[in-house]
Amino acid sequence: MNPNPDLLFTDVRLIDPASGLDRMGELLVRDGRIADLGTLGRPDGVEIVQGAGAVLCPGLVDARVALGEPGFEYRETIASAAAAAASGGVTTLAALPDTQPAIDDPALVRLLRARGEEVGLTILPYAAVTRGCRGEEMAELGLLREAGAVAFTDGARAIGSTQLMRLALSYASAFGARIVQHPEEPSLAEGGAATEGELATRLGLPGIPAAAEALLVARDIRLAALTGGAVHFAHVSTGEALALIRRAEEEGVAVTCDTAPPYFDLNETAIGDFRTYAKLSPPLRAEADRLAVLAALADGTIDAIASDHQPRDADDKRLPFAQAAPGGSGLATVLAVTLAQVHAGTLGLTRALDLLTARPARLL
C-alpha cells in the first residue's frame, strides 16, 4: 500500500492568506506536494477526498514553542511534539533555546533542524542571546545565524540588562535578525505568581504588576529606535503594552509582537480555586486586557498568534500554586482555541488564518 497516495481534495474552500486566495475549488497532491489547484476534473490514479465545504489552508507556523528536547525528554521529545503539532495543524515551529543544554552553539542549531527533518516537522531554531540563556555573556550571534538560527532570544528569561539588550539589538541587526524578548521587567516579576490586584490578594498569592510588561516594552522600543535593530515581543498580554507597540509601529520603529491563545481566551479568574493549569508566564490578566488583546488581533497590531507551548510534567503542576511551574501544552490546541473566536464573531476566519500562517512565516 502506498503510504503517500496522490490525493484530490474536492469541494473545499481554499484559503491562502499569503496570496489572498479564498474560493471554493479542488486541490491536487502528487508525491506529497501540492501539484495544482482550481477546477481539475478527475485525474487518473488519484484518491478522491470529499471536502464537503471544509477549509483547506497552509500548515500553521507556530512562532513560539518550548520543546522538551534536549534535556527535558521526560516532559516531551521532538517526536511527541511532532505528533502534537500534526494533530493541531502545525507544520513549522520556532523552537526556543532555553533547553539543557541551551541552544548557544552552532552544532545544536544544526541538530535541531536535522531532528525535525527526521520526524517530518520543520523546526526553525531560535538561538540564545547569551551563553546558557543566563543573561550575562553574549553568545556568538554571527556563527549561530550562519548555522541556521532564525532569531535570538533567551526564551522565558527576559533580557534585563539595558546595555546587553542594546548590544544584542545592534549585533542582531548586522545579521538581519530580530531579538525576541519575553517582556517582563525581571525585578518586578521575581517571585510573583499572578497578576497583582484584588484576586491575587484574596488568594494570598504574590503579585506581578501588569505594568512590568509595559515597562520593558517601553525600554526596548526606545532601544530599537536608538540602534535601528528589530525587536519582537512574545506573548503580549496587556492593553498598556499593546498601546505602546501600536504607537511605535506608527512611528516606524522595527517592532513586532505575538500573543498566545490563553491571553485572548481566558482572564485571571481562571486561576480561582488555585488551578495550577492556568498558571502561566506572563500570568493571566484582567478582562479589560483580554479584550484589548482581541482588539489588537483584529486591527493588525499583533503580528502572529503563537501557541506558547511549554509542556509540563504532572509533578510540576501538583504543587501549591505559588510553587507550581508556569506554562502548559498548546501545540495541539492553538488552532481550535483561535477558531472559537471566529465562531464567536470576534475574529474573521481569514484574519485568524493569516495570524497563524502567513504572518508568522514572514516574521521567521
Residue 194: which of 168, 174, 212, 171 has the closest Cα?
A: 212
Site of grid cell 503563537: 306
Show the cell assigned to 1: 500500500
Residue 199's CB is within 10 A of a number of other CB atoms, namely 18
Q: Can you list the alpha helix ranges (DSSP code H) found in 196-236?
A: 198-203, 211-227
Residue of 154, 289, 308, 354 marked active site:
308
Query: Whole-angstrom Cα distance, residue 305 to residue 295?
Result: 13
- Cα distance between the two ends of the chain: 37
- DSSP code of 329? -
Q: What share of the chain is helix, strand, coil (3-state, %, to 5)?
A: 40, 20, 40
Active site residue 303: no
Report which secondary-structure segment, H or E, holds 81: helix 78-88
Cα 292 to chain centroid, rounded: 18
Catalytic residues: 308
